[in-house]
Amino acid sequence: MRILKNSKLLFIVLALILVLSACSSSNNSSSNSNTNSGDENASSGEGDKVTIVYARGKDATGATDAMIEEFEKQNPNIDVEFREMPTDTGAQHDAYVTMLNAESSEIDVFDIDVIWPAEFAQAGYVLPLDRFIQKDSINMDDYNQGPVSAATFNGKQWAMPKFIDAGMLFYRTDLVSEAPKTWDDLMTQASELKGQEGTKFGYLMQAKQYEGLVTNAVEFVASYGGAFIDENGEVVINSPEAIKGLSKLVEIANSDFVPGNINTFTEVESHTAFIEGQSPFIRNWPYQYALANDEEQSKIVGNVEVAPLPEGDAGSAAALGGWMSAINNFSEHPQEAWELLKFMTGEEGQKIDAIVGSHAPTLPALFDDQEIIDANPFFGEEGFQTALEAAVSRPVAPNYPEISEIIQIHVSKAIAGEETPEEAAAAMEKEMNEKLEK
């Protein structure tokens, strides 16, 4: 019996030793695991540092690199990786859609065309920015209101304006003493000046069936007080004001002072004819100024000025162009993404972009900055700044490409005489409503 008792005691002692040994092994394992985790942080030297990815199309100016460098200096806890997207805007759009449709978090901040915000917001691709804007007390009234409205959808702000483009009137100072104030004034001067000093035409525009025709149509319609889609998302193209604007576009496109094949003209055809001295007037984007003063290409160097597009009954209107920055709705670092977006679209970032990249700021106050004007004398011209102030967005719709196609088709038919402006407006109203209902 004593032997049995001793055996039981020995068994208990051995079991206790095994349990204590296992606990010690477990604690050592846990300790080793924590040590490895700490070593990883220590070896990387990152601590709280976060890397975010910023995507945009190719930037040959160096402005993007300059903005990122300055941002990282001011935000040592954030590294920015730049990802270059396709140069072609359509290819860029499709690449984003493919990526974001899969709810990918591989990019954090990205630039979007002014016609994309509603589409990307509706699809859930971009993060609403209102809480960030309110938290940092950013006054959206400080921005040009054209791009602000273009990035507003369902009462929320989905992107921040980065730089701006707008349609403008360029004219030959050796032929024109004063820029026309109204569309009727333009028609009078264009008729009188056609054929003078070797000119072939009186006015150049973009009337091919493509996006450029939409921008021209928006300008005519808005200058007479009309719109295609209002701020509430309602289709309003079939109104007296909009029809009057369409009628004026059709009248000019069929006049004898524009090229007979104006329905084949894009920016390229129109700007080429202008710098060759074939017309006293052209409607185009701001790049036209530098091109007209390029001694290697232009025959009208030093003889070009800019003015707002002519007024209709409601004043001058310029189709909005340019780019914005947004945050990927699936970003794992939304706060850091906001810090980068806020910097790029704020005064500091836009100043760098203006000086290095020659992009027009969306903050009008920056046009008083002498460093910006020294780098871009064109920005200091009253006609340029006034034209930007007249910028209006193209129709804000989540299915903008479909809306654009409807406009292109029916405005083209009106120019060709296949539909009256009234018939074109009624057809656009019907088809747009059908698309938006879907």
In a domain, 10, yes or no: no
> 56 pLDDT band (50/70/90 cuts)?
very high
In a domain, 176, yes or no: yes
* Per-residue confidence (pLDDT) for residue 115, from 0 to 100: 93
Structural domain range at position 188: 166-319+392-437
Task: State how many domains the chain has.
Answer: 2
Q: 224-234: per-residue pLDDT in tens?
A: 999 999 988 99
In a domain, 132, yes or no: yes
* Per-residue confidence (pLDDT) for residue 438, from 0 to 100: 81
Cα–Cα distance measured from residue 378 to residue 375, given in angstroms and rounded to the nearest whole number = 9
> 13 pLDDT band (50/70/90 cuts)?
very low
Tell me, yes or no, whether 311 and 383 share the same domain: no
Tell me, yes or no, whether 191 and 294 share the same domain: yes
* Per-residue confidence (pLDDT) for residue 312, from 0 to 100: 98
Give the residue-averaged pLDDT of 375-403. Answer: 91
Tell me, yes or no, whether 161 and 181 share the same domain: no
Cα–Cα distance measured from residue 216 to residue 259, given in angstroms and rounded to the nearest whole number = 16
Two tokens at 201?
Answer: 């035409």
> 87 pLDDT band (50/70/90 cuts)?
confident
Residue 20 has pLDDT above 90, yes or no: no
Tell me, yes or no, whether 397 and 278 share the same domain: yes
Tell me, yes or no, whether 181 and 64 share the same domain: no
Q: 183-211: per-residue pLDDT in tens?
A: 999 999 999 999 999 999 999 999 999 99
In a domain, 7, yes or no: no
Query: Average model confidence (pLDDT) for the chain?
Result: 90
* Per-residue confidence (pLDDT) for residue 47, from 0 to 100: 58
Cα–Cα distance measured from residue 150 to residue 157, given in angstroms and rounded to the nearest whole number = 9
Q: Residue 285's Cα: distance from chain center in Å?
A: 14
- The half-sphere exposure of 80 on its side-chain side, counting CA atoms within 13 A, is 28
Tell me, yes or no, whether 211 and 280 share the same domain: yes
Q: Write down the pTM of the prediction.
A: 0.79
**Which among 371, 388, 405 is the end of a domain?**
388
**CATH number of residue 281's parent domain:** 3.40.190.10
In a domain, 34, yes or no: no
**Which among 367, 388, 409 is the end of a domain?**
388
In this prediction, what percent of the chain has a pLDDT beyond 70?
Answer: 89
Tell me, yes or no, whether 110 and 251 share the same domain: no
Q: 296-350: per-residue pLDDT in tens?
A: 999 999 999 999 999 999 999 999 999 999 999 999 999 999 999 999 999 999 9
Please tell me the least confidently modeled range out of 16-25, 42-51, 279-288: 16-25
Cα–Cα distance measured from residue 241 to residue 169, given in angstroms and rounded to the nearest whole number = 22
**Which among 370, 388, 406 is the end of a domain?**
388
Q: 359-381: per-residue pLDDT in tens?
A: 999 999 999 999 999 999 989 98
Tell me, yes or no, whether 274 and 405 share the same domain: yes
Tell me, yes or no, whether 238 and 123 share the same domain: no
Tell me, yes or no, whether 204 and 278 share the same domain: yes
> 60 pLDDT band (50/70/90 cuts)?
confident
Residue 31 burial by CB count (10 A; 0-12/13-18/19+): exposed, middle or buried?
A: exposed
Cα–Cα distance measured from residue 34 to residue 40, given in angstroms and rounded to the nearest whole number = 10
In a domain, 36, yes or no: no
In a domain, 30, yes or no: no
Give the residue-averaged pLDDT of 27-54. Answer: 51
Tell me, yes or no, whether 273 and 397 share the same domain: yes
Two tokens at 406?
Answer: 């409807």
109-113 and 152-153 as β-strands: parallel, antiparallel, unpaired? Answer: unpaired
- The half-sphere exposure of 61 on its side-chain side, counting CA atoms within 13 A, is 13
> 38 pLDDT band (50/70/90 cuts)?
very low
* Per-residue confidence (pLDDT) for residue 3, from 0 to 100: 40
Tell me, yes or no, whether 114 and 198 share the same domain: no
* Per-residue confidence (pLDDT) for residue 16, from 0 to 100: 42
Q: 89-140: per-residue pLDDT in tens?
A: 888 999 999 999 999 999 999 999 999 999 999 999 999 999 999 999 999 9
Using CA atoms, how far residue 184 sits from 231, 235, 244, 310, 412, in Å, is: 29, 28, 13, 8, 22
In a domain, 422, yes or no: yes
Beta carbons within 10 angstroms of residue 141's beta carbon? 7
